[in-house]
Amino acid sequence: MKMHYVATVTLALLVSQTALASPELARSKNCVACHHMERKMIGPSYKAIAERYAKDESAAKALNEKVIKGGVGNWGQTPMPPQSNLTPAEAETLVKWILSQQ
């Protein structure tokens, strides 16, 4: 019983740290050099991204790939360079956080 409780608490802490780590992860991976929470910089704001993809259930998967591979054309002609310094798990965490910024 005690081990089950410890495992549950540990899992809860890990999940909450991951959810809370997104702004810090965005800063540590230098996403903030091109993106801002509410205003366009070089790239779109996190809020604009969340609003655009709010009703698109396939957005998270596509954006995970876009973050890692980069791209151009979805938000104008300024390219987003590949973010090869991100793991797929980090990209997923960032995308989930970005999509929650409505």
What pLDDT was estimated at residue 49?
A: 97
Tens-of-pLDDT digits for all 102 residues of the chain? 555 544 444 444 444 444 455 899 999 999 999 999 999 999 999 999 999 999 999 999 999 999 999 999 999 999 999 999 999 999 999 999 999 998
Identify the bridge partners of residue 71 per DSSP, sorted by sequence position: 80
- N-terminal to C-terminal alpha carbon distance within the chain: 40
What pLDDT was estimated at residue 102?
A: 85
What pLDDT was estimated at residue 22?
A: 87
| Rounded-to-integer distance, Cα 62 and Cα 78, Å | 19
| Rounded-to-integer distance, Cα 49 and Cα 61, Å | 14
- pTM of the model as a whole: 0.77
Q: What are phi and psi of 17, to 5 degrees?
A: -65, -40
